[in-house]
Amino acid sequence: MADKNVLQHLLNMEADAAAMVNDAQAEADRKIAEGEKQNRARYDEVYAREAGALEASYAKSLAAIKEDCQKQLEAYRESLKAQALNTKAFSSLTEKLLLAREL
């Protein structure tokens, strides 16, 4: 009878140990899930902040490039307007080239 009590006691202890292991595993899983949730939230926050900063920097750079392009284009247009047209020399050269082709 004493052997039966000892065996039953050992089985009860094993069941208690298994329950403790299951509880510990559930607690560890809960803590891991909570940590992952917190880390994801921090990641999303930092990512959004960095992406916003990069977008702003990109927009600023793009605006500066467009402005510079417009300035260069306008300067080129002004330089074309400032060029003196020498229609007499152009006509003479054209005539010379056309006549040279006919020979």
- The reported pLDDT for the residue numbered 98 is 87
CA–CA dist 97, 91 (Å, integer): 10
Does residue 102 lie within any of the structural domains? no
d(CA 37, CA 24): 20
59 inside domain: yes
Q: Is residue 101 part of a domain?
A: no
Is the pLDDT at 103 greater than 80? The verdict is: no
Assigned domain for 95 exists: no
- 15-18 long-range contacts, CB within 8 A, separation 24+: none
pLDDT, tens digit, 9 for 90 and up, residues 65-89: 999 999 999 999 999 989 888 889 9
Q: Which residue's entry shows tokens 């977008």?
A: 55
- Per-residue pLDDT, 101: 67
Total-model pTM: 0.55
Each residue's pLDDT tens digit, 15-51: 999 999 999 999 999 999 999 999 999 999 999 999 9
Q: Which domain holds residue 59?
A: 2-73
Q: Is residue 80 part of a domain?
A: no
Residue 93: inside a domain: no
Number of domains in the chain: 1
